[in-house]
């Protein structure tokens, strides 16, 4: 089910969850044969605060990239429309 829904195997999911748990981003508790994982918000808040220092820098550049991509797409459509009219 996991492979068909998410394109990842159960062992790969377990490995990713172990990394998250080992680094404090998730906790796990046993419930019968199942393991239930929960996200730990505090470490993620710390990462978010650290990343916040860089957001302004990257947001401006990503906005500029989005503008250039849109411009290129408009130019491509214009060329296609022009060649279709010929």
Give residue-wise pLDDT tens across range 57-74. 899 999 999 999 999 999
Q: What CA–CA distances, in Å, run from 15 to 9, 18, 40, 62, 81?
A: 10, 5, 17, 32, 50
Residue 34 parent element (H or E) = strand 34-39
User: Do 12 and 3 contact (CB within 8 A), yes or no?
Assistant: no
48, containing H or E segment: helix 41-85
**Global confidence as pTM:** 0.55
* Local confidence band at 16 (pLDDT 50, 70, 90 cut-offs): very high
């Amino acid at each position: 089910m996991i492979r068909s829904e998410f394109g990842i195997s159960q062992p790969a999911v377990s490995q990713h969850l172990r990394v998250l748990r080992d680094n404090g981003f998730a906790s796990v508790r046993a419930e019968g044969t199942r393991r239930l994982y929960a996200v730990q918000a505090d470490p993620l808040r710390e990462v978010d605060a650290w990343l916040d220092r860089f957001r302004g820098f990257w947001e401006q550049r990503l906005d500029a990239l989005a503008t250039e991509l849109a411009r290129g797409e408009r130019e491509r459509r214009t060329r296609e429309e022009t060649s279709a009219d010929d």
